[in-house]
Structure 1
Amino acid sequence: MNQPTPAIVAQSAVRRLPRLALLLFCAAYIVPGFIGRDPWKNADVTAFGYMLELAAGRSDWLSPTLLGQPPEFDALLPYWLGAWAIRLSPSWVPADFAARLPFAALLVLALAATWYAVYFLARTPRAQPVPFAFGGEAQPRDYARAIADGGLLALIACLGLAQLSHETTPALAQLGFSALAFFGAAALPYRTASPLVAIVAGLAGLALSGAPSTAVLLGAGSALVTVLDSPEEDRLRRRRWLWAALLLATTAGVAWLAGTLDLWRWRIPAPGDRDWHPAVRLLVWFTWPAGPLAAWTVWRWRRQLTARHVALPLWFALVAIGSTLLTHASDRSLLLGLPALATLAVFALPTLRRSVASLIDWFTLLFFTGCAIVIWVVWISLHTGVPAKPAANVAKLASGFEPSFSLLAFIAALAGTVAWGWLVRWRAGRHRAAIWKSLVLPAGGAALCWLLLMTLWLPVLDYARSYTAVVRGVTQAMDEPGCVEVFGLTRGQLAALRYHGKLDLRPAAAPARCPWLVMGSEYQPAAGLALDMKQWRLAATVRRPTDAKDNVLLYERQSRGG
């Protein structure tokens, strides 16, 4: 027996968010962060290094390596995508920008798949609002579109999405493919071919992106949700067993694929090795504001926990949260749960009291407006010296940074700030009754701050987070850059030296004798045991402006011709 729905929604509350405004809003969120910057430490530049090795033919496609070192994450497809993009792009396109293009497409895929997943889940009969005695309740299609708009806004509003979704890493590939699988499982009652293709591509892509265990859990859980859900139509009740069988068959195929390519790895640490407090704190801020709203949805819809629109996103979210709590890659594991949490969050909107919605609006308005003011004040200080304190703090944290003015970035930041002011004014209008109105300010504020960071602060962030300054210091200290031996460098440092410095890197103590040696500063004591340091003379100490742990030492061979 179906339990009554807690959603009470009138037709007047399900107006669609204008499509052009929604598309422009998504573009303003997606594009900044993919253009105008160098690869950042650590995961971003490291993953790019493996893509560069594959594109140059210096590594095996089934076993990517960077100077003999395998990647930290046992993924294949993300590195393939970046390498293919580098190979196919014209020579005048920088390799790091070319590698970002497929990952920008993956972010677009994640947003689009989330919208359609929420749309199909909202169309299920058990997700519909309460019928009114004299009519006027929201119509199913209009309700589903409005809820889907809110789900997309809830996803963009998540604080943890911004940075990780703009990096060329396996984590973004996992996000895109998990969202694709989520859409496939959500749309099964209404479509057949496209959802099955999405499920196969999503689960297989997830496994090839380094998360085979997650793929298997998501596939098996989707099959279970399909069986437990009880549609009202007899035809759908009979077909659910076929859908469940197809889901299980796809899951078994993905498990076989992962085993064939040797992608299974045990990444769960011993219970005593895990500090739970950082993971819990991460869970709170990373998922804001979708996390608290999702918890409210589970409570308000607790009598319909087996309903498809609650059970499916709840399972996807629980798998991601479990991975977050049980593995070391906490933030990147939690990233996969954001589409599902956003889906749960939006089903809280029909049940929210007006006072709660007002609290969300006021908190969001104060928080993001304050953040935007800080970003603008620091930028003005860097370019005018007034006020003096922010510029002095930047000079202390990023020693050697020289501010540069970009008219295009300034116009984009100004336009985003004006749009935020208009959005606040629109939200303050009492005549606005759209169901997604409570998520407009959180999503708009998150997009605004990300836009400001990637325009006004991009030069200083690029200087602080990339290895460009370190590589420049190394190459400038060499009279003839070329063959270089390396010792004690991270994968990110190796990738940066290879790409920015165009250096021919060799492992230290290899048969080839290079005139130069680059060493991580922290490995200097160990170098005396592993290498014959009598052959080398310290030529320069190259300091990274923002992190002393990334300082490198440049040595010159004593006998250049020996």
Structure 2
Amino acid sequence: MNQPTPAIVAQSAVRRLPRLALLLFCAAYVLPGFVGREPWKNADIMALGYMLELAHGRAEWLAPELLGQPPEFDALLPYWLGAWAIRLAPAWLAPDFAARIPFIALLVLTLLATWYGAYYLARTPRAQPVPFAFGGEALPTDYARAIADGALLALIACLGLAQLSHETTPALAQLGFTALTFYGMAALPYRLAGPIVAIAAGLVGLGLSGAPAMAALFAMGGAVLHTTDAPDDGASDLRGSRGTAIVVALALLAAVVALSLDMWQWRLTPTAFDSPREWRSVARLLVWFTWPAWPLALWTVWRWRRQLGHRHVALPLWFALVSLGTAILSPNSDRALLLSLPPLAALAAFALPTFQRSASALIDWFTLLFFSGCALVIWVIWISLQTGVPAKPAANVVKLAPGFSPSFSLLPFVVALVATIAWISLVRWRTKRSRHAIWKSMVLPAAGAALGWLLIMTLWLPALDYARSYAPVVQVLKQRMDAAGCVEVFGLTRAQIAALRFHGEMDLRMAATPGTCPWLVAAEDLQSSVSLAFDARRWRLVAKIPRPTDKRDNLLLYRRS
């Protein structure tokens, strides 16, 4: 029989995922990593440094600088958002957490836009399951809701989403605006005001976040698809040439805004991967970063190959291909690859109604063993740090982070314990003989990824803060300064300068000859350059401040003689 679609779904398979459980699950994924941690090196603390400069009036809003150095990423809006949040926050709120508030909203926006984007794609007639001869097939709205639930779970399950989506960097802003644009393109045939606002905000936001070219490519593909594949199921009349004209106009608006602020910069490096080793490195990144969405997305492309030109497959496929191509040619492959996760998750969701029971069982058992093993390792290492038993894990941590002193905190322990118990309960529920819902295959992968991230951000957070934050180095540096005064810096990275500003609250100035500050902080690998650039008789080396977890990141403290 020639089936119009490969999806054969009964109404019993699209029962609703409880909304309260879904909301609590999303909160458990979003909040850890934003709450309670120090800014980490490098991009996280660097972005915070520019936000603080803007918030305190030490830099121009259209040209952010940190001691005269422009940002590494050509973006404006992410730094504006953090600076505005710092300015509006009450005095008792730490500035680093205040800067994270708009980025929490961006991650929530990403999850929400992915859900609604997948929902409207699943509403299209060519995405619907095969009608049964005597009825009983899934209703369109229920089917679309189940596909959207699967897409959201697939997004959370992606391993590469965890860390980068919890940093206050332009990458998270680009992710949020990509998901918003994706939603607008998917919903445009069915709604008017909301999708237009979403597309406009998404394209302009991408342009101001350092990705105007990607915004233009997303808009071009969406406009072409809107012209060639308009739904015919009673969707709004905003289709064909009218819808295309609106998308093109919004793309031109975003381009004009980006061009007027000098945001168009060529960053791709086509010759960056000249050796097989570099290509293998990118291939490994693609495999683990987008897991488990990429194999499901490939399965969707194969099973829905007769519908490749239709919007429910073509739209997320275009967004994913643009992001993947940019990641391959970009010097920051992981941050560019982050933008592929929402469309890949939507593609992965359309694989779910085509699965056989054996495929679902394979996913469940692999996920169960993998994430249970990860959780066990996290707990064993934490117990070893607290009790010394077993001794080897604690010894390995001391070797990797010399000087770290473990401590016990009740609230993180309780949160981690509750999350682990919830995982065990979820595994028991999933392995019971119950009616099948198409989103159930994504429950364990998403819950496992969320569990791993939550355990790391609770049990391992003190060790990670010690290893990845500049706070320990800056504290030692301040202790060696027995008198207050301005500090000159020489050869430091943007991240190091931002750390001295934030953790040390130092009055920093670029090193000059002759200088006026009593202190000089320089990078260790430039020790010979300090002697050449400055009169060695005028400076006395006070201390070498080692970074416990990175021997290449040490600082030298000089005092004026």
TM range (shorter): over 0.9
Aligned to 1:36: 36
Moved more, 523-532 or 29-38: 523-532
1:310-331 deviation per Cα after TM superposition (whole angstroms, max 9, x unaligned): 0100010001000000111100
Shift of the alpha carbon at 1:530? 2.5
What is the match of residue 330 of structure 1?
A: 333
Q: Which residue of 1 aligns with 2:187?
A: 187
1:399 partner SS: coil
2:110 corresponds to: 110
Conserved 8 A contact 2:513-2:534: no
- For residue 512 of structure 1, report the CA deviation from its aligned partner: 4.6
Match of 1:533 among 536, 541, 547: 536
Cα offset for 1:277? 1.8
Partner of residue 406, structure 1: 409
What residue in structure 2 maps to residue 205 of structure 1? 205
1:453 is matched with which residue? 456
Q: Which residue of 1 aligns with 2:518?
A: 515
How many residue pairs end up in the alignment?
557
Partner of 2:265: 265
Residue correspondence of structure 1 range 125-164 to structure 2 within 5 A: 125-164=125-164
For the structure 1 residues 412 and 303, does the alpha-carbon distance in structure 2 shift closer, same or farther, using more than 3 Å as the test?
same
Matches of 1:90 and 1:238, distance apart in 2: 45
| TM-score relative to the length of structure 1 | 0.97
Tell me the equivalent position of 2:301: 298
Q: Which residue of 2 aligns with 1:383?
A: 386
Which stretch of the first structure deviates more once superposed, 232-241 or 323-332? 232-241
Match in the other structure for 2:358: 355
Q: Secondary structure at the match of 2:558?
A: strand
- Give 1:280 deviation, angstroms: 1.3
State how far apart, in whole Å, the 2-side matches of 1:260 and 1:382 are. 54
Shift, 1:236, TM fit = 5.8
Residue matched to 2:10: 10
In structure 1, distance between residues paired with 2:183 and 2:441 = 24
Alpha-carbon distance, 1:217 to partner: 0.6
- Could you say if the C-alpha distance between residues 119 and 510 of structure 1 is closer, same or farther in structure 2, counting changes exceeding 3 Å? farther
Does the Cα contact within 8 Å between 2:188 and 2:238 map onto a contact in 1?
A: no
TM superposition shift of 1:3: 7.7
Q: Residue 550 of structure 1: SS of its match in structure 2? A: coil
Q: In structure 1, list runs of 5 or more residues that go unmatched.
A: none
Q: Which amino acid aligns with 1:325?
A: I
Q: Which runs of 5 or more residues in structure 2 are unaligned?
A: none
The amino acid across from 1:105 in the alignment is A
Instruction: Determine the structure 1 residue equivalent to 2:488.
Output: 485
Does structure 1 residue 372 correspond to structure 2 residue 347?
no
**Whole-angstrom distance in 1 between the partners of 2:171 and 2:531:** 38
1:511 Cα deviation after fit: 5.6
Q: Structure 1, residues 486-510: CA drift from partner, whole Å, max 9, x if none? A: 0011111100101110100010116
- The answer as to 2:423 corresponding to 1:415 is no
Equivalent residue letter for 1:436: W
Q: Which whole-Å CA distance do the structure 2 matches of 1:246 and 1:203 have between them?
A: 13
Distance of aligned partners of 1:478 and 1:76 in 2 relative to their CA distance in 1, 3 Å threshold: same
Q: CA separation in 1, counterparts of 2:496 and 2:417?
A: 36
- Residue 83 (structure 1) aligns with: 83
Q: Could you tell me how far apart the structure 1 residues matched to 2:57 and 2:560 are?
A: 29
Residue number in structure 2 paired with 1:53: 53
SS at match of 2:130: coil
Runs of 4+ with >4 A deviation? 233-238
Cα distance change, pair 273–510 in 1 and its aligned pair in 2 (3 A)? farther
Task: Output the TM-score relative to the length of structure 2.
Answer: 0.97
Counterpart amino acid of 2:314?
A: A
Verify: 1:62 aligned to 2:65, yes or no.
no
In 2, Cα distance between the equivalents of 1:506 and 1:225?
A: 53
Distance 1:94 1:325, change over 3 A: same
Q: Could you tell me which of 423, 428, 431 is aligned with 1:428?
A: 431
Q: Matched residues in 2 for 1:110 and 1:352: separation?
A: 26
1:133, 1:455 → 2: CA distance?
A: 53
**CA separation of 1:384/1:233 partners in 2, compared to 1, >3 Å: closer, same or farther?**
closer
| Gap change, CA 1:553 and 1:108, over 3 Å in 2 | same
Alignment of 1:89-108 (within 5 A): 89-108=89-108
Cα RMSD (Å):
1.4
1:470 corresponds in structure 2 to: 473
Against the structure 1 CA distance between its residues 148 and 510, is the aligned structure 2 distance closer, same or farther, given a 3 Å change threshold? farther
Aligned equivalents of 2:409, 2:307: Cα separation in 1: 53
Asked whether the equivalents of residues 475 and 481 of structure 1 are also in contact (C-alpha less than 8 Å), the reply is no
